[in-house]
A and B are shown apart, each in its own frame.
Chain A
């Protein structure tokens, strides 16, 4: 049940998906893996939209080099844990929601426990090894998972519904090489907001999810391209008997 203050705060979106949709947001618990370039805008927009319970996990402290894009962190936050810096801004933005902050390194060994009990996972990580851990954790826990990644002027995102659609390992079966990536803040801004947007659609049941496709953002051409991807029956993460077993295969 929404309070009078919530009805007022969310009045413009209640016009879109009704009090029922708003209550779904209020009752939902979203796990945000990483609160950097993607996680800052994703967390801010999910908080503003009224997701009732945000769990924000990140192991890093704020560095000056983060500030061109990680918009919840300010000059005064340098050296502080990112989750504390982000949590403070988000609570100030929307005091009606619950924000849980975890200073933790997400890995294969803890990912499943961390996301357990959440209704949706937003992947705002910066390496594919960690993303594969979250992807498998989402599959094991049957939680919808919104993937995003960026570099330079380019980014991509996808929505994954475990057991129904292509998963991250179906789409990108081997991790791209790890490197210090160049990035202009608007790229993760755009992809992170798109992730939050897809999360809101998923929770409220609005529109069509961006499943079985990878949405590419070419920021130099300022164009989106949709690539169809199919579920791989032999996927080591989501396919058949090998589900989440850790076996890898040659493609």
Chain B
């Protein structure tokens, strides 16, 4: 199946704005994030803390609906899903 990853703000700067991923059927959101993290240390650091837990400050959305960290492991992805990743900006 094919899932689109849309990156915003700081995450867009390290991943690029938009990439398509081929994932095995039954893949979860956790699997997708871990796969992205394996691409580079910079991506890993942008998504996970030192213990390998997804950062709470990063907003992860599937089809424009925010997912809580507790849902990542059980959130199965489907062909055509769009996963958006937004590390919130904080300046004013």
Contact = CB atoms under 8 A, between A and B. Distances in A.
**Chain A: interface size category:** 35 or more
Given A177-B57, A183-B91, A188-B92, A227 B12 contact: no
Contacts of A148: 92
B17 A156 contact: no
A151 B59 contact: no
B69 A251 contact: yes
Interface in B51-71: 55-57, 59, 61, 64-66, 68-70
Nearest to B53: A250
B65 A227 contact: yes
Given A218-B8, A229-B66, A251-B70, A126 B91 contact: yes
Which are the 4 A-B pairs with shortest beta-carbon distances? Answer: A151-B89, A181-B91, A126-B92, A174-B56
A114 to B, nearest CB: 17
Interface in B1-56: 6, 8-10, 12, 17, 55-56
Contacts, number: 98
Nearest to A226: B64
B48 to A, nearest CB: 14
Contacts of B57: 172, 174-177
A39 B56 contact: no
A38 to B, nearest CB: 5
A163 interface: no
A150 B91 contact: yes
Contacts of A47: none
Contact of B84 (A38, A124, A188, A227): A227
Given A227-B86, A228-B65, A216 B92 contact: no
Interface in A160-209: 171-179, 181, 183, 188
Given A154-B8, A221-B17, A226-B64, A175 B70 contact: no
